[in-house]
A and B are shown apart, each in its own frame.
Chain A
Amino acid sequence: MHELSLCRAIAGVVKSHAAGRRVEVVRVRVGALRQVVPDSLTFCWTLVRDHEDMPTAELELELVAAEVRCHSCGQLSEVVSRWSVACPRCASADVSVVSGEEFLVTSVDVV
């Protein structure tokens, strides 16, 4: 049900930019630290797009890896854990998330 909420929010952004034109493609950038399951988002989109009057709109996902800058060892590292953002090199929790929290509509194709 989370993905259903997200798809409705996506549709809201798309509609405000499409201004009534038919939407063919919706491109969404998703960071690895969002709790988004790509398959679930894609499935929910097929429900929401009909409800939101854009039945031809295909969803394209661009997945972004999570990276953290560690304040202890100074390294920039990709985080592979699904839940911890601790530095993978030195295990410090004193980190800044550099990427992985993205969730935005990057572009749409309309006709």
Chain B
Amino acid sequence: MGRFHRHEDGTEHSHDHTHDHDHPHEHEHEHGDHSGYATGGERIEILEAIFSENDSRAAVNRKAFEDNGVRVLNLMSSPGSGKTTVLAATLDALAGEVSIGIIEGDIATDIDAARLGGRGAQISLLNTSNGFGGECHLDAPMVGRALAALDLAPLDLVVVENVGNLVCPAEFDVGEHAKAMVYSVTEGEDKPLKYPVMFRAVDVVLLNKIDLIPHLDADVDTYLASIREVNPAATVLPVSARTGAGMGAWFDWLRRFTGPIERTSLT
């Protein structure tokens, strides 16, 4: 007698069992060679970090930067925090002193890149809308492609302006040496508690729009305490990119970041 099999792919076959049938034929068979069996698969042990491919591409980017003596900052924030305003003020303040390149991540437009133009920086625009309907972050392969538009040799600093989003960008190393974020007071003092992965990942937080504090229910100390709860080690700089208040401390941080003396201590 034979045993009939129908596989999920539609193929059928039978094969013989040569044992006596003095018991109900309900037991499990252990067959070694039935590729169509759902239960006959093979388990592959992997134990691979889900970001390993991204991380290896980030290492390639980092080497390209370091071969050219360039320091790289991954700048992240929610939409509307003032990232581009901070960057415009930064380019103006450090013009002639620090040679800067910008990798500008934007889902669909060149509005931010246009705002940063004419300030002496090299700009590489990276629209992300050809991904899964518009990427919510920059990853290492994307930044790798953006490098083609930058002449790294004369640069001291590259700032990667990430897509406005407090979640996804924190997960993807793009080859930077430090992560910074702009966090505006109008976002509310609870944001570090709601988005702890990003706040925990960053080396420096610019607490922006402090000129608006008089119109809000919280003071600067409330924001600082909220950040400290999640990330006790980060440098926190209260600033207003609009009025210029506190921005000197940010420029000094960038000077130390790009300067030769403290390079080893900041990595």
A residues with CB within 8 A of B: 1-2, 4-6, 8-10, 12-14, 16-18, 24, 28, 33-35, 82-86, 93-94, 103-111
B154 vs chain A, min Cβ distance (A):
34
Whether B46 lies near A106 (C-beta < 8 A) is yes
Q: How far is the CA of A109 from the CA of B44 in the complex (A)?
A: 6
Instruction: From A8, A35, A103, A108, give the contact of B44 (CB < 8 A).
Output: A108
How many Cβ-Cβ contacts under 8 Å join chain A to chain B? 99
Whether A2 lies near B136 (C-beta < 8 A) is yes
Interface residues on B, range: 35 or more
Known: A110-B41, A111-B40. A9 touches B51 (CB 8 A): yes
B46 vs chain A, min Cβ distance (A):
5
B6 vs chain A, min Cβ distance (A):
16
Name B's interface SS: mixed
B88-104 toward A: CB 8 Å interface, digit per residue (1/0)? 00000000000000000
Residues of A within 8 A of B192 (CB): 83
B20 at the interface (CB under 8 A from A): no
Q: How far is the CA of A72 from the CA of B34 in the complex (A)?
A: 58
B residues with CB within 8 A of A: 35-38, 40-54, 132, 135-137, 167-168, 170-171, 192-197, 200, 228-230, 232
Name A's interface SS: mixed
A81 vs chain B, min Cβ distance (A):
9
Known: A35-B195, A110-B41. A17 touches B46 (CB 8 A): yes
Whether B197 lies near A18 (C-beta < 8 A) is no
Instruction: From A10, A83, A84, A111, give the contact of B37 (CB < 8 A).
Output: A111
Q: How far is the CA of A103 from the CA of B46 in the complex (A)?
A: 12
Q: How far is the CA of A12 from the CA of B170 in the complex (A)?
A: 19
Whether A111 lies near B193 (C-beta < 8 A) is no
Residues of B within 8 A of A4 (CB): 132
Q: How far is the CA of A13 from the CA of B46 in the complex (A)?
A: 9
Residues of B within 8 A of A94 (CB): 232
Residues of B within 8 A of A12 (CB): 53
Whether B53 lies near A24 (C-beta < 8 A) is no
